[in-house]
Copies of this chain bind each other. A is one copy, B any other.
Amino acid sequence: MKKINISNSAMKRLPIYLHYLNVMHDYNCKYISSTKIANDLKLGEVLVRKDLALISGKGKPKVGYLKQELKERLEEILNTSTINNAIIVGAGKLGQALQFFDGFEEIGFKIIASFDNNDDKIDNHYIYHIDHLIEFCKNNVVSVGIITVNEENAQSICDLLIANHIKKIWNFSAIQLNVPNGVKVKNENLAASLAVLSLN
């Protein structure tokens, strides 16, 4: 596979393109143009063209890209070769919402378990007691840990995940996690996102 360098900002758009292709119901045409994608998604058309050139580079002037091929190429990049299994720690409302969120599969992520320290939340629907996390990580390939615990416990859960060889953390708590080199943290601060709406 050709080695390509995808920027963070471009990477954020790839799932959007893929989903767009998956839900569009235009069976009439085998091709799709960057112009149409850009218009529908309200993105700059050069931007889209650049993204698609990066991942596909097989566009035909005048007609556009073969839809099926583009879709497969996006899936190839998103559903990367490594297994993308994720676990959630913190089976509160947010954790549960994420566990049953149905947009992750499309981009190659699968949430295979949730953990919580509250016995009331433990059932047999893939929610386990936190004490079983170590064992679970030994028996399963887990590449992403999603932290939805309250912020008092976020750092210690983060440490626990790292101790169990998880190198990618999706952090929904509002504190800054301290992690060693080689561990990637993506902070998801919902309040900060909402605050942007109050501008203007």
Give residues in A with beta carbon < 8 Å to B: 6, 8, 11-16, 19-20, 23, 40-42, 78, 80, 84, 86, 92-94, 96-98, 100-101, 103-104, 106-109, 144, 151, 168, 170, 174-176, 184, 186, 188-200
Chain B residues contacting A195 (CB-CB under 8 Å) are: 11-12, 14-15, 78, 107, 109
A168–B197 touching, CB < 8 Å: yes
Chain B residues contacting A200 (CB-CB under 8 Å) are: 184
B11–A190 touching, CB < 8 Å: no
Considering only CB atoms, which chain B residue lies closest to A13 in the complex?
B192
Q: Complex Cα distance A52/B154, Å?
A: 27
Complex partner residue of A198 from B98, B108, B176, B197, CB under 8 angstroms: B108
Number of copies: 2
Chain B residues contacting A194 (CB-CB under 8 Å) are: 86, 104, 107, 109, 144, 170, 186
9 additional A-B pairs beyond A23-B151, A103-B190, A170-B194, beta carbons within 8 Å, are A14-B192, A15-B195, A19-B191, A41-B176, A42-B176, A93-B93, A93-B97, A109-B194, A168-B197
Chain B residues contacting A16 (CB-CB under 8 Å) are: 174, 189, 192
Q: Which of A80, A97, A98 has the most CB of B within 10 A?
A: A97
